[in-house]
Amino acid sequence: MLRTHTCGELKIADAGKKVTLSGWVQRSRDLGGMTFIDLRDRYGITQLVFNMEVNPTLCQEARQLGREYVVSIEGHVTERSNKNLKMPTGEIEITVEKFTVLNVSKTPPFTIEDNTDGGDELRMKYRYLDLRRNINKTNLELRHKMSVETRNYLSDQQFLEVETPYLIKSTPEGARDFVVPSRMNPGQFYALPQSPQTFKQLLMVAGYDRYFQIVRCFRDEDLRADRQPEFTQIDCEMSFVTRDDILDTFEGLAKHLFKKIKNIDIHDFPRMSYDEAMTRYGSDKPDIRFGMEFVELNALVKGKDFKVFDDAELVVGICVKDCATYTRKQLDELTDFVRKPQVGANGMVYVKYNEDGSFTSSVSKFYTDHDFVAIAHAMGAHENDLMLLLAGNAEKTRKALCELRLEMGNRLGLRLNDDYKPLWVIDFPLLEWDEDSQRFYAKHHPFTAPKPEDIPLLDTNPIAIKANAYDLVINGVEIGGGSIRIHNKELQKKMFEILGFTDEDAQNQFGFLMNAFEYGAPPHGGIAFGFDRFCAVFGGSDSIRDYIAFPKNNSGRDVMIDSPSEISQQQLGELAIRVVSS
């Protein structure tokens, strides 16, 4: 045995025990006649002590140990004279009698400390060293617990974990596929799944009425911050259920995870329609940890000769409590913020409701105090509040005000990491119209069922149809989404038709599913959670990368193994692929 204990478990009660520990040299300090070494493993850090007077040779040898050397030591647990109560093992140290160097180490390219000096790329290149740091260890432990508890909950609810294939068929819907050439079928390609959607539906046809899988999915999407080309879903499907059965079941999963992992009881999962979410928050994933809800002001502000408002499709504002004292500089900063291309507003109007009941505004030329009182009333503003108004095209203005609202939430410290406010957003539009390609796209995916009462609109007014679809949103982050599915061949065919598929295309790409619907497909529906994101939300972080052991960088590269990379002519030949340089 290279160890009798880990570096995280010895306590004062173990004093006197003879122990063997193995681990990495975190740090060493020579203090006159003594040498102290912090020995680290996955479980913690234990202090080792070598005494020059007691054993000069051993102490000299210990002084040669570099950072990250791997050593195994034998010694006795002793009570420390200088205790460190911040460390679980801080009351003891090991008086080392013997040690073996199991392996040497080069000096690591960055310090393996909580506050490291290594930049992002460097740490990605040496990810195995980065993973030795506490923060990453804690994150991966959280991920592990989340997956164990997910399995426990779903298994207790009779869900069966079934694996579905990774080598599947490319379809042009959704994001771009990653494709894999088939050597045995020259010129033909598999695709890696963007999700197991069709397979889980086939499992329902097969009668496995509760399925789940914690599964890797692949999407070749354009790079955006914090997107990973491969990511993990908790993918689920159920038969013989209504939407509310599904929401209840997965609310249960979320509650279970909050309780088991964070010891938080969450009772309330409000349900809000997509339309309401857009009107009140300008977003289909509203952060409801704080108020500042949108107030639409067209009726109050138009017709007063202020051209910007008169020309706008929508004038909408938020009321920021207790901020009427904002300075010129602070207001200018906010105007600059809304003008950023990512936010997209042309400008911002402010109205300060001053402490003394007067108003100061960037549009006081056009509005009387009487008008401002009416606006303040509509916005629920009182003395000392600040009203911020945007105007323009409705969709764009809502989006920009949503960003401004979140920015104000950040500035005022209203978006607390450990305050969890989930909600379901329901009744999404079924379709989106794309101007460029002049066709409809499915907002969720083509297998999503319309709300039954909207089915007649398929022939008359498809854009008005609401889908039987839902998203779980926590603190402004979309954690999961799903829908009741179409389980009838004719309706599925119709859906493909609306999406601009020819009969032949639909048959080629999804014939297997539509054929299966002819053999007794039960009504079914499901959901998938972004597991990496779920972990990040639980960890109080914005970055999914921190919860993935070996993530790709923002250009989709693994800089550690240097991938993607070219392959040899011989490999290309075997795959019948010719590279044509542009």
List interacting residues with ligand ASP (CB under 6 A): 195, 197, 481-483, 526-528
Nearest position to ligand ASP, beta carbon: 195
Nearer of residues 47 and 232 to ligand ASP, judged by Cβ: 232
Task: Give whichever of 282 and 481 is closer to ligand ASP, judged by the CB atom.
Answer: 481
Q: How many contiguous H segments (helices) and E segments (strands) does the chain have?
A: 17, 22
Q: Which is nearer to ligand ASP, 10 or 528 (CB)?
A: 528
What is the smallest separation between the CB atom of 467 and ligand ASP, expressed in angstroms?
A: 11
First to last CA, the chain: 59
C-beta closer to ligand ASP: residue 44 or 481:
481
Nearer to ligand ASP, 331 or 499 (CB): 499
The number of CA neighbours under 13 Å toward the Cβ of 213 is: 18
> In angstroms, rounded to a whole number, what is the distance separating the alpha carbons of residues 530 and 528?
7
Q: Which residues contact 345 (CB under 8 A, 6 or more apart)?
A: 338, 339, 390, 392, 396, 397, 400, 401, 404
Q: How far is the CB of 198 from ligand ASP (least distance, A)?
A: 9
Minimum separation from the CB atom of position 249 to ligand ASP (A): 13
Structure tokens at 261: 């992992």
Q: How far is the CB of 483 from ligand ASP (least distance, A)?
A: 5
Q: Which is nearer to ligand ASP, 35 or 483 (CB)?
A: 483
Number of Cα atoms under 13 Å in the Cβ half of residue 54: 9
Phi, psi of 217 (to 5 degrees): -125, 155
Distance of alpha carbon 552 from alpha carbon 178, whole angstroms: 15
- Name residue 439's amino acid: R
330-332-338 Cα angle (round to 5): 105
How far apart are alpha carbons 141 and 135 in whole angstroms?
10
Non-local CB neighbours of 438 within 8 Å, separated by 6+ positions: none
CB 9, min distance to ligand ASP, A: 42
CB of 210 to ligand ASP, least distance (A): 14
- Is the Cβ of residue 474 or residue 527 nearer to ligand ASP in the bound state? 527
Question: What radius of gyration, in Å, describes the C-alpha atoms of the chain?
Answer: 30
Cα 342 from chain centroid?
Answer: 20
Q: How far is the CB of 511 from ligand ASP (least distance, A)?
A: 19
The CB-of-47 to ligand ASP minimum distance in angstroms stands at: 49
Compare residues 133 and 219 and give the one whose CB is closer to ligand ASP.
219
Residue number with CB closer to ligand ASP (286 or 526): 526
Q: Which is nearer to ligand ASP, 128 or 512 (CB)?
A: 512
User: Closest approach of Cβ 450 to ligand ASP, in Å?
Assistant: 15
Shortest spacing between CB 329 and ligand ASP, in angstroms: 44
CA–CA distances in Å: residue 240 to residues 208, 421, 483: 11, 30, 13
The CA distance from 348 to 479, in Å, is: 32
Query: Other CB atoms closer than 10 Å to residue 6's CB: what's the count?
Result: 16
Nearer to ligand ASP, 126 or 212 (CB): 212
User: Closer CB to ligand ASP, residue 75 or residue 446?
Assistant: 446
Instruction: Note whether 312 and 397 are within 8 A (CB).
Output: yes
Q: Which of 318, 394, 373 is nearest to 349 (CA)?
A: 318
CB of 456 to ligand ASP, least distance (A): 24
Q: How far is CA 125 from CA 91, 139, 536, 561, in A?
A: 37, 19, 22, 8
Which among 176, 179, 189 has a CA at the least distance from the CA of 219?
176
Q: Following CA atoms 490, 493, 494, 500 in sequence, which dihedral angle do they give, to the nearest 10 degrees?
A: -170
CB of 90 to ligand ASP, least distance (A): 47
DSSP 8-state symbol, 581: P
CA–CA distance, 265 with 243 (Å, rounded to integer): 24
